[in-house]
A = this chain, B = another copy of it.
Amino acid sequence: MTLAVLRLSHRIIRDKRTTTHLALAARAFGATDFYYSGEHDSSVEESVADVSKEWGGSFFARFIENPSSFITKWKQKDGGVIHLTMFGIELSEQIKSIKEELKKDFLVVVGGAKVPGFMYQLADYNTAIGHQPHSEVAALAVFLDHITDGKARKIKHPDAKTEIIPTEHGKRTKNHQK
């Protein structure tokens, strides 16, 4: 099963950290792929590649030119589309039916500056992580954490160069570098 994330309308200067945080949250909370549209910004790809190199796994970020054709093709291949938006139906009311469908591939879309109207129509689910304004990073992380039942937080990457040794009061890491 593919659980991909698509971030719309990235702007190089204003969104650099937010998009990188989205990609890293996607990686940490169990997504398998990360795509973004808007302005192509190789620093996003590089930051994510650096993290995967150090902390393991094959997660990467990839720029796509045309999000609407990407989403349309995704749906033609029977993939499901979930759009996270405060205007949608609250997660608690949708989580059950989303989970029942999770055998198929899903694309989780998070908006940028201005979400085009077609997105609300193309999505199978418009899902609100609460109806208050907050943050696309918060919305994505909470959503993924719910649909994976928090299991992704415990994933270990066998090829990690650095691993954390959980500690009550301090910082400890194990280094697997040869």
Q: Which residues of A line the B interface, CB within 8 A?
A: 14, 17-18, 21-22, 24-25, 27-29, 51, 55, 85-92, 120-121, 123, 126, 128-135, 137-142, 145, 150, 152-155, 163-164, 166-173
Complex CA–CA separation, A154 to B130 (angstroms): 6
Known: A131-B164, A145-B142. A121 touches B169 (CB 8 A): yes
Q: Is there an interface contact between B172 and A28, defined as CB atoms closer than 8 Å?
A: no
CA distance A133 to B141 in the complex (A): 13
A155 and B132 alpha carbons, distance in the complex (Å): 9
Assuming the contacts A21-B137, A120-B169, A138-B21, asked whether A86 and B164 have C-beta atoms less than 8 A apart, the reply is yes
A129 to B173, CA, bound (A): 16
Q: How far is the CB of A10 from chain B (nearest CB, A)?
A: 13
Q: Distance in Å from the Cβ of A16 to the closest Cβ of chain B?
A: 10
Measured CA separation A151–B164 after assembly (Å): 31
**Stoichiometry (number of copies):** 2
Contact A21 B135 (CB under 8 A): yes
In the bound complex, do residue A29 and residue B141 qualify as a contact, i.e. CB atoms below 8 Å apart? no
Which residue of chain B has the shortest Cβ distance to A164 in the bound complex? B131
Chain B neighbourhood of A18, CB < 8 A:
17-18, 21
Known: A55-B133, A130-B154. 11 other contacts (CB 8 A): A18-B18, A18-B21, A25-B135, A29-B130, A29-B142, A89-B168, A92-B154, A120-B171, A128-B164, A131-B163, A141-B141
Which residue of B has the minimal Cβ distance to A122? B169
Whether the Cβ atoms of B55 and A132 lie closer than 8 Å is yes
CB of A73, distance to nearest CB on chain B (Å): 20
Closest-by-CB residue of B relative to A170 is B120
